[in-house]
Copies of this chain bind each other. A is one copy, B any other.
Amino acid sequence: MHYLPHTPEDIAHMLEVIGVDSIDALFADMPQALHNPNINVPAGLDEVSLLNHLRDLAAKNQTPTGGLLGGGTRQHFIPSVTPHLAMQSEFVTAYTPYQPEVAQGLLQATFEYQSMMAELTGLPISNASMYDGASSVAEAALLAVRQTKRKRVVVSTGVHPEAREVMATYLKPLDIAISEVNLEQLTTSTDVISNELGDDVACVIVQNPNFLGYLETMPTLAEATHDVGALFIAVVDPLSLAVLASPAEYGADIAVGDGQVLGNPTNFGGPSFGFMTVTDALLRQLPGRIVGETTDVDGKRAFVLTLQAREQHIRRSKAKSNICSNHQLAALMATVNMAALGPQGLVELATSSVRAAHTLANKLEASSLNVLRGTFFNEFVVQTNRPATDVRRLLAEHNIHAGVPVSPSYGLGDAIILAATELTQDDDIINLVDALSEIDANIDANQVDTPVEKVLEVAHD
């Protein structure tokens, strides 16, 4: 029996103490009809066969290298020391720190996490983590609705399409209207946003860099938002905040995003974690757990879950959210990783990523590929002569994993998003440029669409 300690003698002894004569007797409360269901799951495996099975499955995957895939999740350098420390079994096999006297390890690490996220975003209050970036966007919108008591949310299509979908799913039953504002020339126009604004708007949600990779004019967007008394919600790539202006600097009320890039592997999309930081004014509306500092009876500094009156286990149907388990272990990976990299390392990662992406873009253009110019961070759009998913598949045949398809709703025709990180080597760039040139050229003339007009380069680029 895998993982079970019970010997036949143990079982006999325990049954006798309980005063029943079989294990089945313990289940006598269950209606007879429920017993012995036919459950079609294969027989158990020894450990070698088990790992062989998993290895066989893994062998049917190809593992990307070179950090060319983006779209909300990217491969970045994670030093060996990070998982070594974050995955210590004392951390991994604990749960929510309900007993602070014996959970200072995770409570303090979470306090450090909150401090780091506050530092990155510039907003003073961070919760302890949420599920992921997309659901954090939805929770941020709900927060804004609670705070402002208004029932319309304005969101730029520069926000990750999946985050917008999640938000729509969350908001639908609550009769909260969503106004989506399309990008103009790859970014969100303050004018167009302003046209959508009114005193029924709870918040404006803008992502920076946006889903396509380009930088938004966050300060003017935030100003326009505040003009109508709405909250400005910045969806941010936390790694980019090593170098980009922080949400606090441009006046955001709430910053949310996905923390994967801070030190979690790509994991086919999960688990990573969502983060949320807010201004002091919004503290009591914040969903999720929060760790606070206090002292113990001896006067020693100590950390504890606090302000729990916001949460479901205290407030039940009146809670700010139903969230209970969060994504603390993934946040711990990020905490240790940020401490391992330090500000200098984080700046190096961000800077190298930006440089690699710009080098890639330049090389692609030099090979006559259709790079959409604008001020981009480390992802950008290339228009292609074939459907995006075909391009991605053909690249995969070259063992290059790149090319997040751009949805037709962006009106950019066939297009892919390319990314680069500090892991992108010159060879990766050359191979991608070569393969993409070949794929893009090598196409039936009658299949070729007219590419949309190339967007003008932004001034300071």
Chain A residues close to B by CB (< 8 Å): 47-48, 51, 77, 79-80, 84, 89, 422-423
Contacts and interface: CB of A to CB of B under 8 A. Distances in A.
Contacts of A89: 84
Contacts of A423: 48
A47 B348 CA distance: 13
A51 B80 CA distance: 10
A351 to B, nearest CB: 14
Contacts of A77: 47-48
B84 A47 contact: no
Contacts of A84: 89
Pairs A-B, 3 closest by C-beta atoms? A47-B79, A48-B77, A48-B423
A346 to B, nearest CB: 15
A291 to B, nearest CB: 26
Contacts of A79: 47
Nearest to A46: B77
A80 B47 contact: yes
A48 B348 CA distance: 13
Determine how many copies of this chain the complex contains. 2
Contacts of A422: 48
Nearest to A52: B425
Contacts of A51: 80
Contacts of A80: 47, 51
A187 B77 CA distance: 56
A6 B84 CA distance: 23
Contacts of A48: 77, 422-423
A302 B89 CA distance: 26
A337 B167 CA distance: 50
A338 B194 CA distance: 71
A80 B84 CA distance: 16
Nearest to A80: B47
8 contacts: A47-B77, A47-B79, A47-B80, A48-B77, A48-B422, A48-B423, A51-B80, A84-B89
A48 B349 CA distance: 12
A258 to B, nearest CB: 23
Contacts of A47: 77, 79-80
A184 B259 CA distance: 69
Of the candidates A48, A79, A80, A84, the one having the most CB atoms from chain B within 10 angstroms of its own CB is: A48
Nearest to A90: B88
A48 B65 CA distance: 12
A73 B358 CA distance: 52
A89 B80 CA distance: 14
Given A47-B80, A48-B423, A84-B89, 5 more contacts: A47-B77, A47-B79, A48-B77, A48-B422, A51-B80
A84 B47 CA distance: 15
A120 to B, nearest CB: 22
A79 B46 CA distance: 10
A51 B79 CA distance: 10
A374 to B, nearest CB: 29
A77 B49 CA distance: 11
A89 B84 CA distance: 9
A430 to B, nearest CB: 17
A261 to B, nearest CB: 16
A80 B77 CA distance: 26
A389 B79 CA distance: 41
A169 to B, nearest CB: 38
A104 to B, nearest CB: 18
A422 B52 CA distance: 14
A265 to B, nearest CB: 14
A454 to B, nearest CB: 35
A89 B422 CA distance: 30
A51 B65 CA distance: 14
A79 B47 CA distance: 7
A338 to B, nearest CB: 16
